[in-house]
Amino acid sequence: MRYVALLRGINVGGSNQMKMDDLKAVFSQLGFENVKSYINSGNLAFDTKKTPENKLMDRIESAVESKFGRRVHIMVREQKDIERVIKNNPFDGQYENHKHMHVLFLKEPMPAEKEEFLQASALTGEQYAVRGREIYNLLPNGVAGSLLTKGFFERKPVVAYTGRNWRTVEKLLEL
């Protein structure tokens, strides 16, 4: 089965540096096959026998911590779920640029009260749509200055997540 692993906050702005070749080696040491990466921000695809995603997340997080000395959140999806994410984009056709569309991948579904808080907190022009373990983000003014860059998700709804712009989401399907 093909899976995609998304590491949170690595190689962004010069912090949490992890070489993709080293990460690929960690995945191979875990017995994963056909490991591929996309850009330098923690996007890896791999093959392994069908395994619950939470077990894969735990195994990968522990192996990454052992290799790099720090724990990072890792979200895992079956690759077919990436196709579902793309097909179910509630904002399809409403943005001119892939930089205006982002998806947050959550470890677990967002509780309803946190979703209500998110919707009430949206900045002018921003739209959010929670769908299971993903939050679609339409940011017509760009990501700079949005809730995504203001530390909102770390402080308020406190959910384990990692975000990707729409171009990266589309590329994940090709891995």
Residue ranges of domains in the chain: 2-81, 86-174
Determine whether 66 is exposed, middle or buried from the number of CB atoms within 10 Å of its CB (0-12, 13-18, 19+): exposed
CATH topology of domain 86-174: Alpha-Beta Plaits (3.30.70)
pLDDT, position 155: 63
First to last CA, the chain: 13
Task: Answer whether 2-81 and 86-174 agree in fold.
Answer: yes
Determine whether 137 is exposed, middle or buried from the number of CB atoms within 10 Å of its CB (0-12, 13-18, 19+): buried
Q: pTM of the full predicted structure? A: 0.90
Tell me the DSSP string of 113-161. Answer: HHHHHHHHHPPTT-EEEEETTEEEEE-TT-STTSGGGTTHHHHSS---E
**DSSP summary character for residue 100:** G
List b or e across 91-125, with b for residues whose CB sees 16 or more CB atoms inside 10 angstroms: beeebeeeebbbbbbbbeebeeebbeebeeebeee
The residues of the chain scoring below 50 in pLDDT are: none
pLDDT, position 44: 95
CA triple 113-115-119, angle to 5 deg? 120
pLDDT, position 116: 85
Distance between alpha carbon 175 and the CA centroid of its chain, in Å?
Answer: 15
Q: Measured between alpha carbons, how far is 64 from 67 in angstroms, rounded to an integer? A: 5
CATH of 2-81, one of 3.30.420.40, 3.40.50.2300, 3.40.50.970, 3.30.70.1280: 3.30.70.1280
